[in-house]
Amino acid sequence: MLGASGLVLRTVSDLRKSRLEKSARFGGMILCTDESGEWPLVLESLGEFCKQNSGFSKNPFRVTLLSAKRNPPVDPSAVPGAMQTYALWIRVLSIPNIAARRLLRRYPLHLGADGAFGQAVHVLIAGFSDLGVAIALHAMRMAHYGSGRPGFTFACTDPERQRGDFLSEFPEALRVAEIHFVDLDLRDLKTDIPVTSVYLCEKTASEESIRIARFIESLRRRQNASPPIFLEIGDARTTPDFSIWDGQTYPFSALSEVCESDVLFGDREDDLARIVHDYYRDSIAAQGRPLEGNPAGESWARLDESYRQACRHQADHMLAKAAAIDCRLVPEQESEFFVFDPREVEKLARIEHDRWSADRHLNGWKFGPVRDNDKKIHPELIPYDNLSEDMKDLDRYTVRLMPALLGRKGLAVRRNLIVAVIASPDRGRPGNRYIQSIDSVFKRLTGRNPDRTLVLAIDLADESQRILARRANEKFRAAVWSLIGEPLDNLLTGPGSEPHRIACLEMLAHSERRICLAGRNEIAGWQRRRANVVLILERAAWQNRGRTAPDFPPADVDQSAACTGLRQVRLDPETGYTGWSFEY
């Protein structure tokens, strides 16, 4: 792969002089090898090349080494003597660490868990590989939504030994989350906290399809739900095909995540993390405190990697904080001036303290009455309620700062307007005026709430709701949340057979979130607690009673227990008539 500033060479066998010369003309080269044991050969070959071509390029020679290890064993500064006379810029990228971060940013943990409804994150990882551990560690830092203690389960080949290995490397991890190790058959899986996302990272000699099918079936039996499952496929290529998709599995490639131009040839991945760090440096300077001698106050280029990682984690968690209070991050032109209200600040300050504590604990820090950086002891590693008001104010300040930091990146915070859709059993089939009525309803809702993003929470199995959601998405840019109250294999075998199945899968693929709930009662509870507006699809009361008025006032229809006290809109799918319980 030829890039704007380098050439990707996947193995040592690619280190032929002709290709090195071609790469050098671009002022840089990317050396990609999954076998870190080959790096000495890579460096030796580079040293010989640089010795023979020391005047080949006036630009620094860019060398990026990709490792399949979480902790690459090679020190990039230990280069052969022949390379010292050549301008080199060497960096080492860990494929598991970068892939984990990018994957969880594209598919955040709230894809399958609604923290605002009280659902705690429970991540199931199949395989104790470097990739699996990297995903777990990053998820542990991102899993705080103010909804209880997160859970993590490793399904692996030797649970006892691998548990010991993990806790030996991360002795404070049990202070961050509930962590369990079970066999790959999930025999001892804890089901008191439902699994909300699954990562298949264990490579075996068996056929992938058989392994996946067995694993999903075992999970369904244990949990009776269908969380998203992320499957590492290596160098394989996939083509979207709803005829064979199970509705749960999302393939990804760790190597492909890293082999992107913005990762290999740029630093855009760290833009927001740099902004977080620069703001910290500015605040130190504004207080008249010296940056010299403060290891956390160094410029980004000179900053120790542990501090860089802390900035990355704080930046990445902004997505979770927004979701925890039913907001989202959008381009700044899509949102006006935004300020958190006091209740949101307090909730997010508590979440921020949990996130910061998790980050510290996973780096080996523990509680002690007196801070000692050398021994990694910190007096603030205590519950938020036990902090002094001054310490709580630091977390509150961090939260209030979030819109300003995002603004430097060209982003803003925008609230959601959650519309839960309820369908009466005798609603009838959608008629010709249904689409026009949908447009009318959402035009009024969005016109009254111009500062909010429309979000539709629908029952995936209902055709009239899918039509409504597609229309709202296409014309009003509405996001769709699918509420799933039963295992997907049951839902996908509903009425209409194959057309029904394909329609459900297409909607699921376009859903921003998929929230698994325990049956109809919990769906009703979710609608009652989480909706800002309830849209009820049902026949108009005047039809049922033989009246001729082309509407149905709220008093004419019994209110559903799921939406009592909420703002309600009633829509007759057959006739398109609507009734509103509130004024606009």
pLDDT tens digits for range 354-390: 999 999 999 999 999 999 988 999 999 999 999 999 9
Report whether pLDDT(548) > 70.
no
Residue 562 domain flag: yes
Instruction: State both tokens at 202.
Output: 């264990």
pLDDT at 22: 43
CATH number at residue 377: 1.10.490.160
* Domain boundary residue, one of 353, 383, 409: 409
Rg (CA), the chain: 27
419 shares its domain with 473: yes
Q: Which two tokens stand for residue 265?
A: 């040839």
Is 447 in the same domain as 558?
Answer: yes
Number of domains making up the chain = 4
Do 485 and 401 lie in one domain? The reply is no
**Statement to judge: residues 486 and 419 lie in one domain:** yes
477 and 362 in a common domain: no
- Model confidence over 17-35: pLDDT tens digits? 444 444 444 445 555 554 5
Phi-psi region of 186 (alpha: psi -120 to 50; beta: other; left: phi over 0): left
> Are 453 and 550 members of one domain?
yes
Say if 536 falls within a structural domain.
yes
* CATH number, residue 512: 3.40.50
Tell me the mean pLDDT in the region 482-491: 87
Q: Which domain holds residue 451?
A: 413-580
Identity of residue 148: G
165 has a pLDDT exceeding 50: yes
> Domain end: 409, 426, 444, which one?
409
Quote the distance between the C-alpha of residue 227 and its chain's center.
14
Q: Are residues 183 and 245 located together in one domain of the fold?
A: yes
Residue-level pLDDT at 236: 72
Confidence band of 576 (pLDDT split at 50, 70, 90):
confident
Global pTM value: 0.87
Residues 542 and 422 in one domain: yes
Query: Which residue is listed with tokens 């890039």?
Result: 3
Last residue of a domain, one of 86, 118, 152: 86
Q: Is 538 inside a domain boundary?
A: yes
Report the pLDDT averaged over residues 526-553.
69
Q: Are residues 459 and 517 in the same domain?
A: yes
Same structural domain, 249 and 123: yes
Task: Please choose, from the candidates 171, 68, 110, the residue with its C-alpha nearest in 3D space to the C-alpha of residue 316.
Answer: 110
Name the band, by pLDDT with cuts 50, 70 and 90, for residue 538: confident
Tell me which DSSP letter residue 308 carries.
Answer: H
pLDDT, residue 306, reads: 85
pLDDT tens readout for residues 195-233: 999 999 865 434 555 666 677 777 777 777 789 999 898
Based on the number of CB atoms within 10 Å of its own CB, is 538 exposed (0-12), middle (13-18) or buried (19 or more)?
Answer: buried
What pLDDT, on a 0 to 100 scale, did the predictor assign at position 351?
Answer: 97
For 314-364, write each residue's pLDDT tens digit. 999 999 999 999 999 999 998 888 999 999 999 999 999 999 999 999 999
